[in-house]
Every structure is written in structure tokens, then in C-alpha cells.
Structure 1
Amino acid sequence: MTGTRGGKTAHVISHSHWDREWYLPFEKHRYHLIKLMDRLVETMERDPAYRSFHLDGQTILLEDYLTVRPERRESLQRLIREGRLHIGPWYVLQDEFLTSGEANIRNLLAGLRDAREFGAVSKLGYFPDSFGHIGQAPQILQQADIDVAAFGRGVKPTGFNNEVTEQAAYESPYSELLWEAPDGSQVLGILFANWYSNGNEVPTDSEQALSFWDERLAAAEKYASTPHLLFMNGCDHQPVQTDLPQALRTAAELYPDIEFIHSDFNAYVKALKQSMPDDLSVIRGELRSQRTDGWGTLVNTASARIYLKQRNERGQTMLEKGAEPLAAYAHLLGLDYPHHQLLHAWKTLMQNHPHDSICGCSVDEVHREMVTRFEKSSQTAECIIADSVAHIVKRVDTSAFGGYGEQALPFIVFNTTGWKRGGIVSTELDVSRIYFREGVEFGEMKARLKTLPVNGGTIVDAEGRQLACIVTDLGLRFGYDLPDDRFRQPYFARTLRVEFEADDVPTCGHRAFAYIPFGQELGELPEPRFASEGSLLADDGRTLENDRIKATVEDNGSVTLTDKAGGRTFRGLCIYENAGDVGNEYMYRQPNGETAQTTELLQAQVKVLTDTPYEAALEIVQEWQIPEEAEASLARERDELIWFTGRRSVRTEQTVALRIRTVVRLQRGGRGLQVNVELNNTARDHRIRMLFPTDLRTDVHYADSIFEAARRDNEPAAEWRNPSYCHHQQAFVSLHDETAGLTIANKGLNEYEVLRDGRNTIAVTLLRSVGELGDWGLFPTPEAQCPGMHGAELMIIPHGGGGQRTDAYAEAYQFQTPLYVGTTGVHGGEVPPCHSWLNWSGRDLALSAFKVAEDTGDVIVRWFNWSGEATELAAIPAFAHERMAMSDVLERCGEKLESDSGGGIPVGPHRIVTLAITPQLPD
């Protein structure tokens, strides 16, 4: 018996989707990777008929393999050059939404760099198992000369064990479609409509093969727009099918009118493009399974183990807004740019970016190791920052402070963001040091330092303006220098902590200040004029107020906030919500019939924490009794693998105390109210969110995503059945109507929901506690209950309506980036005390990167247009340079620009724009 389907070509592509760590920790998965790779290399070398293998689109697998099997490098290089083993373009298969825009690009750059070393790269945007796809992916791929993307989620429903379910109307009737970014960039999209395992374990036995292929061919034909049918011969951690050539010969005998080939994506895409129909659907923007019932989106991985997301945000910020730009500024002053160290720090961080890692949906051992990687990456970044700052401060002219006497202590405040800014600066200054090399006996050394008089002081800038500050004596401190040219230099020092409000620190630049102890001559100065005067705290001890906003803490701990410019008042902000969670690390599931609890009826304790001329803060403490955990039936449901949508468990009536400490803080120059949260989690199986009722009349909202402020509907599509409608965010979520708006900024809190409660309340998830991984089996994860102390940082930014949210977005981006500080002495220098390395302007543009390209040595500066309106970019480098040219995400030089004119560079809606500036470096 033979099948009858003529005129078709079956492209069978061998692969193994390799989750680097997931239901096993990394080293156990690597143990099996070594076996897979050994078998693959041996099979390919032994059997020329085994033609091709796709190595999952991520080059880290080569790193992991060759660490254990370095002698196999030449074999791998040969197979790659021969076009049999296909690698790249990514370094890791990341979660696109939970890693920053720059992290997504560094991932691509690192993968392409690694692939070049092996001889070839697969130019395919490969996203086999990402939990939804960012809207700007087509633009990023197009800028990297990649015009095809293959993916398995986002535009069709996938359920338990990744089974495809029926739906009345798919967004695309075909498995081929056109995917369009918000700026209009398009790529050909290849949807794994029957998952990336539809050609797995092909039988060699004729009878079994006939049954197999009759089913699989019909399923592929259901969605294919051309005669070329795609069959993915593999699955998660799938061993190599060494007898595939024989299985394909069997298939060819059974179906003589179908051509069965052991194919690869290059051949498949080439054939596809030659026979595509004209009626492919165009799907625009984010692919988040919006047109599904909502139960399989995996969106709640954004709130699984939030502590990981917070560490990741800090690590990304430290590299993107600390190490890279500061190293670039230092490079312009003659210091070698540390490409190798930055690549190491980025790769270490990106090893935490695979979707099963950063999503927090693995076994506990995986996430313990992630914490160590975060620390390792940050340690390297801290060293790069320290070296860069030390190089720069020696070249900044601080001679203006020479008139204040020998005790003047200059320091430089660095702003690496794209906007001029101010903020509270806290730095430690050594008023005196005694080095061990000086030969002073330890007792005398310590006595001298301890008896130094410390009576406070003032801060001055290079123009002579005095600023109020708070000085804290930290006493005796041990420290050491690590010179590049001699042995380490230990010392004892008498150290002060100085805190003040710095203002007008230039974009991509710095401003010099100095601490002047009381008793020093201030020289021929005009009458002192302080940047900060008066108090931000009202007499009632409950109200904070500056020129822009007024915030009052109510008896229940909620905040009433008024935007002075627009006159809009927002009430009931910062209420906490607690609800049960009988889901898993992938998906939130509130117990049947449960109503969420809130702190609305609690009585809060409120006291003044800080009251200075430049900042005031209130402490709010709430003692809350919440259910201790789910009933014992939840454990039974987990043991029996009852899918979370069908669970009937509820929470126990037994309660535990949840103590929440909230600090609301207002700076004199601040546009928003800062909110810091501390809580000690002693409960299990629950979720905690902070609520921000907006009462704004709008059907849409905006969330900071990857290189865009994504516009999203407040109401889900008609197909949606999940009561929860959570989304991803990066720096903020924002609502506005025609008269007012409210933006909530955050640090590492990636999940939010706009509630359908009649008030358009923004709910930001602070903590989610669950006890299992989920997915295809039982994997207990007690550490995912996240016991112990947790914190969160947010900012509430009121603003005008319509298009008046630019300043709020800029404030939200700056909220994530600290001001960096470096101490120095009094000296001359070629760099002014107040200086910006790049003067630029452009409405609705956000600065995303300032770094040096490894291949060309060009200074790379990148922006993105967060709006749907065209704008213009004007950029004038404040450093000697040979040329300025358009570039792309691969940091290549394009069209030369008139760099000295400051003329406008057109930037289309939602466009990512990169400039390459060739510097003239000092000898």
C-alpha cells in the first residue's frame, strides 16, 4: 500500500531544541548535550546521507560542548563550513520580553561573532519556543540582513504539552505569513503550526511509516501555503535520529509522488520563496497569543521568582548605562576600550537569559546558579566602571576648587542617560588616608585618624554655588589601591558619607563638585545661594510637596497624589492586593470563587523618615493577616498532574502575618513620587500586587517594551477566557486621556495588568509564590514560593494627557539608571568641569546605547522613537572625530552624515536609529 499526495516536497529538518537548563540543572543537561553532540558528529562523519542538523539557533551550545570536548573543534568547524551543521544567529535563545532591547542586540552580536569563528552562520531569526515575540523583532532582524523568522508561539493557541488546539479564526490561515514591526519592517514568518516536533522519530518500518506520514502530511497540508511542507525532526533535548536516511527512503517508497529530502532552513526557505502565494496575511507588532483563550500564553513567567528579574534589571543597567558609556568616555580620553571584559560580562549575564532561565520556570537548582552568574557579571561591570571613572576624573579640570584650601575634596558626578538630570547623590569621601607604606605604627595611625575633627561642611560646584548636604561620619575604614604598576597599597582612612541633591548634570556627561569642610576659607564668593531651601514636608506630617506634585498618605496607607500643572488628583494609590495562586511558574491561577483581599480597610502606621531641604520621606507600616497557603488538596492535585485550569483547591482559613513597610519619597526636583517596598513573605501559594487606580477614560494603554512604547488594549479579544489579562513591561506602564495621564515606573517588575474594574487600575505584581514548575510533569519547586525578605522600587509620575507624556517616559527611563560618582584631587585637565560628550535633541526619542564597536572602533550611539509620529534627531559629538555615519544593529558604517551641522536626521515612527562616529583619539 502506498500513499497518494503528488507534487509535494517534504523538507525534514533535524534539530534538538536544547533548553540549556530547565527540569534538570545546567550540568545535568550538559551531560546529555555531550552525548548528543558526540553522537551527531560521529553520525555525520560516518554517514554522508545524514546531511544536515540545525543546532537550535544558539551558539552557546558549542561553548558548552567544547568546554568538555575541546578536541572536537576542528570536526565541528569542518561540518559547519560544509553546510551540514547550521549554527546561530543568537548566543542564547532568550526570552525576548524579559531581556532589554540592548540585551537582545548583544545576544545577536555575540552569536554572530561566535558563528564567524566557526565559518558560517544561519541567517534565520530562530525563536522556536519563546513565550511570545516582541513587536520590533522584524526591524532588528532586517537591520541585521535577516529576512526570515521561524517561531512556534504567539499567533495560534498552544495548550498542555504544547498541543495545538482548534480555533475558529487564526490570524493567519497559513503557516507562512508576513510579520511586520511597528516601523513597517517586514520579514517572512514561518510558524511551526504543528509545533517543532511534527517530524520527530520518523519510523523506518513501512506499516508504521504509512500511519505516521498519513497523519503528519495531512496536518502540515492543513496550514501550508505552498507545496513545500516543513517537518521538524526533533523536540526538546531530542537525541539524534541516526537512522533518518533509512526512514526517508522508506517514506519515498511509500509516497513516490512526494519528494522527501533531509533538508535545512536555507534550502527550505529558498524553495518557499519561489512558490509563495500573494495572499499571505500581514501580522503586525507583538505576537503574544492575544487571539486565544489566554490560558497558554505563559505570560506569568514575568512574575515567577521576581528576584531574578530585579537582579537582571540591575545587571543590564550596570552594563548598558554604566560600564559601556563610561568606558566609551574614558576611551575618548585615551584608555583602551575593554571589549574582551565587556563581552565576558555580557555573556555571563546572557547565560541567565534563556527563556526557561530568566522566566523563572525551572527547578530550584537552576535559579540558585543564576544568582551566582548575576553576581559574576556585575563584579566585572563594577571593575570596568571603576577603571573608567578613575581614568576620566584625573583629566577633569578641578582647579576651580583650589581656592578652598587643602581640605577641599573634589568629586565628579556622571550622568549616562540621554537627558540632563539631577538627583540625590550619596558618596563616600576620605578626608585623610595613611598608607601602610608610610611606616606609621598601627596604633598611632588609627589614633591620628580617629581624633581628626569632623564638623560637617558644604558642597560647592565649579561656579561657586553652595548646596546643602548631609554629612555622616563613618569613622575609621580599611582600604587598598591596586595600581597597575606596583604591589597593592593598603591604608586606613577617616571616611565621610556626603549626600546632596545634584542638579543639571549634562546628558552623556558629568559635573564636578567638591566637599568643603566647615572652617575652610570659601574665598571671594558672592552671597551663598543654595540649590535647595526649605522643607518638602507639610506640617501635618503626612504630606510631601514640591513645585510639581503633592502627595498625602491617608490613614489606610494609600496615597492621594495631585499633579499641580494639570490639576488632576489620583486617589487610592499604593493599596496592596493579595490573592491565592494555585497555578505554577508559567501561569497564574486564582482559586475558584476567591475574592482578592486588599489593605484598603487596614489602619497604617505613618511616620516621618527623612526631612531635608532637598528630599523628604514618609514610612508606612501595615500589619496584614493573609491566608497561610493553599489547602492540602493542592498537593494532591499536583501529584496527580491535574492541569492548573482544572484545579479546585482554595486557600486555607489559617492566616499568617505579613508586615509591609512602604517608604514614599519626594525630591525637590523630582517629577514623580518614589515608592520603596519591603515585605517579609511567610505565606505560600499567593500573589501580591500594588494597585494604582487612574480613573482615566481610555480604552488603551502603553507599556515600555523592547525599543517601543507598545500600545495595548485594556480589553482582551473576544476569544480570551482567562480572568487574568497580564502583560509584560520593561521600564513603565502608562495611561492617559485627553486631559491627564499616569505613568508607573519600576525596577525589574516585569508584570502588570490594567484591571477591568471601571477605574482602569494599574496593578503591578510585586511577588508571586508557587510550588511547582508546571508543564509536562511533576517538578516541585519549593524555592519558587519565595520566602523571606523582598523589596520593590517604583515611581508614580503624573502628567498631562494627549501627547504630553514625553517627560514622564524620560523620567521613567532615568529612574532605572543611577548617577555614578568618582573622587579625585585638585588639578588641571583637558576636560571641563561640566561637560557632555554628545549634544543631541529629538522629540519622542530615547537614548539606548553609547558604546564602542569592536570591529571598527567607532563610537556607537543608538536611539529609538517610542511614538507613532515621525521626528528628527540632531546629534553633535563634543569630541574630535573623523566622520559620522548612519549605522545599524550590527554596528556597520553606512551613509556619511554632516556631523558638524547638527542638522536633523529623519526618524520614522517606531524607528531604531544608530549612528557610528569615528573618533580622533589622543596619542
Structure 2
Amino acid sequence: MNKKKTVHIISHTHWDREWYLPYEQHHYLLIEVMDQLLDTLEADPNFKSFHLDGQTIILDDYLQVRPERRDQIKKLIEAGRIEVGPWYILQDEFLTSSEANVRNLQYGMRDAKKWGGLSKIGYFPDSFGNIGQAPQILQQADIKAAAFGRGVKPTGFNNAVIDASAYESPYSEMKWQSPDGTEVTGILFANWYCNGNEIPTDEQKAKAYWDEHLENLETFASTTHLLMLNGCDHQPIQTDLSTAIDLANRLYPDYTFVHSTFNDYIAAITEESASQDLKVVEGELRSQHTDGWGTLVNTASSRVYLKQMNQKVQTLLEKVAEPLATFRYFIDQTYDHDMFAYAWKTLMQNHPHDSICGCSVDEVHDEMVTRFNKSEHFTEMLIDRTLDQLVKHIDTSTFNASDVHPFVVFNTLADNRTDQVSVTLDLKRAYYRDGVNKDVLRQIDVDGFVIVDENKTMYPVEVDDHGLVFDYDLPEDKFRQPYMARRVTVTFNAESLPALGYQVFALVKGDVDVATLVTKENQMENDYLAVEIMQNGSLSITDKRTNQHYQGLNIYEDTGDIGNEYMYKQSSDHLVRTTEEETATIELIENSAVKATYKITHEWLLPESAQETLIKEQQELVWFTNRKSERSLKEQPLKIETYVTLTHSATYVDVKTTIANNIKDHRLRALFKSNIETDHHYAESVFEAAKRQNTPNREWTNPDYSQHQQSYVDVCNQDRGLCIANKGLNEYEILASDTTMAVTLLRSVGELGDWGYFPTPQAQCLGEQTVEYRIIPHGGERERFEAYQLAQTFQAPLISKALPVQTGTYPSTYSFIELEKPAALSYSNVKVAEASNDVMVRLVNLDEEAHACAIEQRNNRTYYQSDVIERKHQPLKNDKVTMDAYEIVTIGIHSDKENK
């Protein structure tokens, strides 16, 4: 006898905080929906529960307007009638950093527990693909299942049921496995997350509705439990749902219809599917087995300026502010969790998929810029205040000369760092309280300086004189203190700065004789690399360590784009322009012992836009894949200025490019031809150097095979490799014929896309755009991890601060945490846990082999293994942890106040 099937009807609304309407207009609608929900729950005891879209921020948004309903909401959550969490917001996973994904989970779970309930499902209803390490992250938080709408092969538009045989799994339930082998139950929303929307209460309509829906549900269900989601984007509450469910139970006695929750549904399918042979789907869910048109991957290049701002603020928080605050915590046990929560939450309000993906109306992204600025400015104050307290304890008494200007350089990463340092110093200040003599300040000599460390080692220095500068102090114990200063910025190359620590230097009078880096016209060289600027503006680089040579680097490519903010679609003329046959103007603008920089200028004649027919096609809702528009015959020059820099000790070349964009409807990329024979490459994803094939699967028909990256993409084989690091450039493509890495610098489009016509003139990104990237040659597969470290240092700035000559309890060179680890163990973050006030150090093994990490023992410290939500597990044996292949490990440090 067949077991009776249960239809789990889960009420929800998928709430994009901002998208085709600005935030406050969506906010207004949210108030109406939440009012309706609370009134329905109070009036109808049979309306069992409501899933609040997996994000706790909805409650914060609602209570801004209805604070008087807080207690009512808390009671409903505690009773299980509103399910909240586990996220703070529904992020785009690929465009937010590893730590941002973890913070999103940490703050969401913390807030949900304060409300008195937690929906224990990794909820990704509309993420534009899903990261491969999600199962490991979720399992570490005791979340055993994930639900998603995209990423594995749907059978039709919005996952409509068409042909089950073409589906990656025979069921909508599957096992989703991370690279380390961790599994969760994966649930694909067959027929999307609105497959139970607007259930009829009229008997005739209900029969027709259920006959169709039950057949579709049973096509993919692996168990007798069928999932229906009653809601959709910004969907009002179905207030008569109880009546609709009662009617369904009367009409279909062979089924049981229940108003369910995700927690109940997961418990039911987990018990029953244990006996099923569910297919294992491995790693990233990027719709690799689709035609490639619906992956929405080109949101990685929409409004690149947003991605750049996000990269900057994320990095300041996770790689600078939190580590510096942790250093201070070791000294005085002070760490302000509330300040960090505010900075992170302000930033994460820009992380929903329609926000960070750049696929909303212009007003949305205007507000995002404001939020980025708010979070950045707040984080800068966190850093400044932390530094003020930190530097008081550092000893600089070894620099006891009369004309000496000490300063400290903090390395907030977990590996010793050789890098260029720039620090701003005041050679003399005159406070207005004491009187200001500007002539005395003007007469200060700014020539003849060197940098020295505590061992009197001298470093050549560049000095940039700012002249007289007005500034002020904001003391914690008195009124602001304005002053005039004679200010300089000094730049030098520091060697092996201590990991998770600092080193003190000083600017002093002196001289050191070191050769400059320019060797011939348009050529520069150090001990590791030789760089030549070709007449077309491309770079030719020889890696002197391996004797490998790379030509045709940094050629620019431009094509027409008649797509939208979601997807790139090349113009129908298929016209591809490159600078390979162009002639560039090349100018040496800096040549010293510290660095050499060439400026390369292109005045490149390009079509000014698409043809006018594109606007007509957009207005008439011609689907972007069917558009016929070509590029305009009218052309105008696009000016590109490229600054190529080689520093004294660098094993890489840094590139900064400014584009005076006056062209519409186009995509601009930088091409890096590697000619490395390999069928795969690596790209940084969340807690992963994802290994991806260079050519798409056979199902992929989209001519473009762009993919996501975080800070780097790398092509290598056993003998050699070329890695391109970036700051906020999240899209690349591998051109398989010569393994060229094509990194998108700019994409200009004029409409949102999707279900209607929403013009977005600001998405053309007109005006000056500046991008930065780093070219890193390396020795191949086993040496690639060192290249990835250099990509990480490219992201995180060194932090410096001027000091007086003083005695202190901490020496002039010091590491607060010392890790002994191979390069394959990639550092993610160090911070202080809110619940325990223990220090947390997070690492990930990027390799397919296990590696050990040892942590140096210190007095008054004990070490244990933790997890992504920072709980205490087993102690570390011998202060050492072995990390399995692709494993994410968090080390907890319990520490009392240090006595130096």
C-alpha cells in the first residue's frame, strides 16, 4: 500500500529590500505586508506560520516604523509562528568575501536567537549561483540543509517542469557536497519559490490548480513529502490560506495538506530520504550544465564601481580594523563588538543580490554609495581610535637622535610581508594654541632623508612634500586641537614585516646609494622581473627566476553590449576591437631606487554607442538574446591612461588604469595572454581556490563564458603560471585558444532587464573610472599558493602611524600571533568572538593535500578548535592543528591581559 503523501505549504514572501523600486518605496510596501502578516496571525490560529525570507534585517526595517509591535513579534517567533534567520541579509555569495559570508551568518543567527527562534536552513532562494564551500560553512553552524533556486540545471525558465530526464538530479532533493567532502541536503525549488502561490478557495478553480501542481510536484520529489512555497517577490499575505488548505484536504483525500515550516519539512524529508539514493552534486552551483544564458553571471561586471567600493570596505573591516582591534585586545582586553556590528551591518545592507550585483534602478545604487561611504568612514574611525591606543605601548627609544621621526608599520596579515610602504609624517607641527609661525615651517629642509629600522639598516626613500597643511587632533579628554604642519609622505620598500604584528622605523637625515630600476628605454628591471613596454602599450615580462617569458599582456579589448545589468550580449555585428594594432604614447614618470612607473596613453577610436534601435528593442521588451542591434557607425576617442609600476623587491607588476569613459553600450576588458598548456585554471571564490575548466560543458550555448572571481584568477601547469590579482574586478573569462585571461574592467549598459523595461542611464558608468590589478608570474602548480598570498597582500593596505620617541612595554618589532604554516593554508581573519571574548583565527586549506598549522605558545594563552560561529570545541594538541584538504578551520585563543 502506498504511503499517503504530504504537501508542505510554506508561506513566505521573497523580500528584495531594493530592486526595481528604491529602498524606501519597497520599505513602505514591507510595512504593509508585515502589518497584514501580524494581523493575520493574530486573527487566524490555523494560519500556522510564516517564513520571513531567511533574513533578520526585515524585522529591523519594520520596527523602524512600528516599534510598538516588537513584543508581539517576539511572542510569535518564540511560538514558532514566524521563522527567522539564519542570515542577516540574503547576500550574493560570489560577490561578497569569505568573511562577509561568515559575518552574515553570525549576525543573522545571533539576532534570530535574541528573537527566540531560528530557521535552520541555508536559505538561498534567488542567489545567482551558490558557492562550493556553503555546505561546510552551514554544517559548522549545525545547519544540515540548504534550499536554492539557481545553480543546478533547471528544466525550464524559472525551473518550470519540462523534461526531468535533462535534470542534473532525478529529484529536487540531492546531496550537496563541499570540496572537503562535507554534505548537506540540497533542495532545488522546482517551479521556483512561488510554486504554491495564490492557492484558490473556489472548488472548481482549486481542482484545476491542484491537478496541475500535484503532477509537477511529484515529478521530482524523492520522498512522500512535497514542497510548495506560498508566496513570491514582494507578495502580500494570502489571508484565506487556511480555507484553501481545508478545501484541498477535502478534495484530495489521498494527500495530506499541511501549513508547514522549513524546520518541519526538513525533518520529514531527512528521515525518509535516508533510504533514497540521492545524487551527490559537488562544489559550486553555477548552472554549468545549462545553456549559459540564465546564470546572471555578468552581474559581476555591472556597475564595477560598486564592487570596488565593496572590496575596499570589506578589506578595511576584516583585514585591518578587526586585526588591529584584536592586537589591542591582547594588551588591554578592550574590544567594542557593538561598533563592529554597526560597521558590518551597514556594509551588509549593500550585499543583497539585487544590490551588490548592480542590477537595480539607479536610485538604489545611489543609496548604496552612501552606505559604502558610511561604513568606510565609521571603520576609519575604528582604526584611528584603535591605533591611538595601540601605539602608546610601543617602544621607540632606540631612535634617540634629535632630528628623527619614528613611525610604526602594522602588518595585519598572517605571513611576513615584503612590500612598499607609504606613510605620512609631520616634520613639525605648530598648534594654534601656542601660536603658528608659517615661515619657520616653510624653511624646514625636506631633502637628504633615509629610513632606518631599530638595527640601523638603511632603506632608500622617496619624499613627497605637501608643504604647509592644516589639520587637527580630536583628543578623548579635551576640545579639538587645530594646527599647521610641514607634511611629507615617504615611500620605501620594507623587508619581511612581521606577521600579525608591526615594526618601527624612523625617517632620519642620511644617504644610501642604490641603483634605479630603469635599464633601457621603456624597460625596467629588478632582481626578479624584467618588464618591457611595447609600442602598442602591452607588456612583455620575463620571470628571471624561472626564465619564463610572457608577451601580449594588458592588451585592451572592446565589444558592443546590447544586454542589460544581468547579462552581457555582444552586439549583432560581432565587432571586436583591441589595442594590439594601436600605437600608444609611453612616458617614464618615476624612476628611483624605490620604484619605476611608466604612463601609457591610448586615444582609441570606438563606436560611441549601440544603434538607436537598441532603445526601441528595450522599450518593446525584446528579450536580450533576440536583439539585433549593432554598434553605431559614429565613433569618438576613448582615452585610457595606464600606469605600470615595478618596485625594488617585487615579484609582480602593478597596473593602475584610468578610463575616461564616454562610450555607451560596451564592455572593456584587459587581456593577459599566457600560452600555458592546460585545460583548467583557478579562481578565488569564498574559502576556495576554485578549480574550473577552461571550456564550458556541451550544454553551454552562450558565446560568453564569463565567471566570478574574488581577488585573483590563475592559469598554470606544472612548469609555470600567471596569476592576475585585482581590486573589485569580479568578472573574468578564459579564452581557451591561447589561455588568455580576460578581466572585465568596465561594462556599460542602459537598462535593468528582467521582467519589464527599467532604464538605468547611470549603469553606462560614464565619466572617469579607475581600476587596479597585479600581474604575478610564478613557478607553476606547487608554487601557486605563494602567488595567492601576493594577491591577498594586494588587497590589504599596510597601516602606519607616526610615533614620538618614547619608552613602551612592547618592543620595536613584534608579532601578536605567530603561525607556522605553508602557503597553501590561507589566512582569512583574526577577531574577538562576542560570546566568549576569545580571539579567533580563521584559515582555509586551499590544497587537495592535508597540511599542519602550528601556533606559537605564549604565556597565559590556551588554544582550541572552534568553528564559523565561534564555539569552543576540542583543545589543540601541542598547539597544532592538521587541516584536511579544503578544510576551513577556526582556532580559538583564550588569553588573559598580557604582561610584557
Q: TM-score, normalised by structure 1?
A: 0.96
What residue in structure 1 maps to residue 682 of structure 2?
702
Whole-Å Cα distance in 2 between the matches of residues 335 and 144 of structure 1?
27
Runs (5+) with no aligned partner, structure 1: 519-527
Deviations 1:196-247 (A, max 9, x none): 0000000000000001111111001000001110000000000000000001
| Residue of structure 1 aligned with 2:667, choices 683, 687, 692 | 687
Whole-Å Cα distance in 1 between the matches of residues 350 and 106 of structure 2?
17
1:502 and 2:494 are equivalent in the alignment? yes
Change (3 A) 1:161 1:259: closer
What residue in structure 2 maps to residue 425 of structure 1?
421
Deviation at 1:477, TM superposition (A): 1.5
Amino acid at match of 2:490: V
Deviation at 1:806, TM superposition (A): 1.9
What residue in structure 2 maps to residue 8 of structure 1?
5
**Residues 157 and 167 of structure 1 are in contact (CA less than 8 Å); yes or no, is this contact kept in structure 2?**
no
Partner-residue secondary structure (3-state), 2:332: coil
| Residue of structure 2 aligned with 1:26, choices 15, 23, 45 | 23
What residue in structure 2 maps to residue 537 of structure 1?
518
| Residue of structure 2 aligned with 1:916, choices 870, 892, 899 | 892
Runs (5+) with no aligned partner, structure 2: none
Identity in percent: 51
Deviation at 1:723, TM superposition (A): 0.4
Whole-Å Cα distance in 1 between the matches of residues 447 and 786 of structure 2?
40
What residue in structure 1 maps to residue 362 of structure 2?
364
Whole-Å Cα distance in 2 between the matches of residues 189 and 583 of structure 1?
32
What residue in structure 2 maps to residue 133 of structure 1?
130
Whole-Å Cα distance in 1 between the matches of residues 552 and 313 of structure 2?
33
Deviations 1:228-267 (A, max 9, x none): 1000000000000000000111111111111111111111
1:185 and 2:165 are equivalent in the alignment? no
**Residues 303 and 768 of structure 1 are in contact (CA less than 8 Å); yes or no, is this contact kept in structure 2?**
yes
Deviation at 1:5, TM superposition (A): 10
Whole-Å Cα distance in 1 between the matches of residues 375 and 162 of structure 2?
41
Larger displacement relative to structure 2 (821-830 or 101-110)? 821-830
**Residues 155 and 164 of structure 2 are in contact (CA less than 8 Å); yes or no, is this contact kept in structure 1?**
no
Whole-Å Cα distance in 2 between the matches of residues 637 and 191 of structure 1?
33
| Residue of structure 2 aligned with 1:203, choices 200, 206, 215 | 200
Change (3 A) 1:163 1:367: farther
What residue in structure 2 maps to residue 907 of structure 1?
883
Deviations 1:453-492 (A, max 9, x none): 4444221111111111122321222111111111111222
**Residues 335 and 391 of structure 1 are in contact (CA less than 8 Å); yes or no, is this contact kept in structure 2?**
no
**Residues 160 and 776 of structure 1 are in contact (CA less than 8 Å); yes or no, is this contact kept in structure 2?**
no
What residue in structure 1 maps to residue 210 of structure 2?
213
| Residue of structure 1 aligned with 2:439, choices 438, 442, 447 | 447
Amino acid at match of 1:815: F
Amino acid at match of 2:452: V
What residue in structure 2 maps to residue 471 of structure 1?
463
Change (3 A) 1:539 1:800: same
Amino acid at match of 2:812: P
After TM superposition, the structure 1 = structure 2 runs for residues 560-575 of structure 1, keeping only pairs within 5 Å, are 560-575=540-555
What residue in structure 2 maps to residue 791 of structure 1?
770
Amino acid at match of 2:771: A
Larger displacement relative to structure 2 (837-846 or 74-83)? 837-846
What residue in structure 1 maps to residue 170 of structure 2?
173
Whole-Å Cα distance in 1 between the matches of residues 582 and 159 of structure 2?
44
Whole-Å Cα distance in 2 between the matches of residues 489 and 379 of structure 1?
21
Partner-residue secondary structure (3-state), 1:365: helix
What residue in structure 2 maps to residue 409 of structure 1?
405
| Residue of structure 2 aligned with 1:865, choices 825, 832, 845 | 845
1:848 and 2:828 are equivalent in the alignment? yes
Instruction: Tell me which stretches of 4 or more aligned residues in structure 1 moved more than 2 Å.
Output: 157-169, 444-456, 879-882
Whole-Å Cα distance in 2 between the matches of residues 422 and 744 of structure 1?
19
Deviation at 1:592, TM superposition (A): 2.3
**Residues 429 and 484 of structure 2 are in contact (CA less than 8 Å); yes or no, is this contact kept in structure 1?**
yes
Deviation at 1:94, TM superposition (A): 0.1
Partner-residue secondary structure (3-state), 1:716: coil
Whole-Å Cα distance in 2 between the matches of residues 881 and 303 of structure 1?
48
| Residue of structure 1 aligned with 2:618, choices 608, 628, 638 | 638
Deviations 1:544-568 (A, max 9, x none): 2111111111110111111112111
**Residues 175 and 185 of structure 2 are in contact (CA less than 8 Å); yes or no, is this contact kept in structure 1?**
yes
Partner-residue secondary structure (3-state), 1:203: coil
Amino acid at match of 1:447: D
Deviations 1:152-203 (A, max 9, x none): 1100237656656647522111010000000011001111011100000000
After TM superposition, the structure 1 = structure 2 runs for residues 810-849 of structure 1, keeping only pairs within 5 Å, are 810-843=789-822, 844-849=824-829
What residue in structure 2 maps to residue 271 of structure 1?
268
1:881 and 2:860 are equivalent in the alignment? yes
Change (3 A) 1:876 1:502: same
Deviation at 1:394, TM superposition (A): 1.6
**Residues 630 and 685 of structure 1 are in contact (CA less than 8 Å); yes or no, is this contact kept in structure 2?**
yes
Number of residue pairs the alignment of both structures matches: 897
**Residues 6 and 257 of structure 1 are in contact (CA less than 8 Å); yes or no, is this contact kept in structure 2?**
no
Whole-Å Cα distance in 2 between the matches of residues 821 and 896 of structure 1?
35
**Residues 5 and 258 of structure 1 are in contact (CA less than 8 Å); yes or no, is this contact kept in structure 2?**
no
What residue in structure 2 maps to residue 110 of structure 1?
107
Whole-Å Cα distance in 2 between the matches of residues 717 and 457 of structure 1?
59
1:98 and 2:74 are equivalent in the alignment? no
Partner-residue secondary structure (3-state), 1:897: coil
Amino acid at match of 1:675: V
Deviations 1:852-903 (A, max 9, x none): 11111111101001111111111115x54331100000111111124xx45x
**Residues 853 and 883 of structure 2 are in contact (CA less than 8 Å); yes or no, is this contact kept in structure 1?**
yes
Q: TM-score, normalised by structure 2?
A: 0.98
Partner-residue secondary structure (3-state), 1:141: helix
What residue in structure 2 maps to residue 521 of structure 1?
none
Whole-Å Cα distance in 1 between the matches of residues 162 and 603 of structure 2?
46
| Residue of structure 2 aligned with 1:590, choices 570, 592, 606 | 570
Partner-residue secondary structure (3-state), 1:279: coil
Amino acid at match of 1:330: R
What residue in structure 2 maps to residue 437 of structure 1?
433
**Residues 408 and 504 of structure 2 are in contact (CA less than 8 Å); yes or no, is this contact kept in structure 1?**
yes
**Residues 87 and 122 of structure 1 are in contact (CA less than 8 Å); yes or no, is this contact kept in structure 2?**
yes
Deviation at 1:6, TM superposition (A): 7.5
What residue in structure 2 maps to residue 41 of structure 1?
38
Deviation at 1:393, TM superposition (A): 1.6
Whole-Å Cα distance in 2 between the matches of residues 395 and 380 of structure 1?
24
| Residue of structure 1 aligned with 2:731, choices 751, 771, 781 | 751
| Residue of structure 2 aligned with 1:893, choices 872, 893, 900 | 872
Partner-residue secondary structure (3-state), 1:196: helix
What residue in structure 1 maps to residue 452 of structure 2?
460
**Residues 331 and 898 of structure 2 are in contact (CA less than 8 Å); yes or no, is this contact kept in structure 1?**
yes
Deviation at 1:714, TM superposition (A): 0.6
Whole-Å Cα distance in 2 between the matches of residues 880 and 342 of structure 1?
28
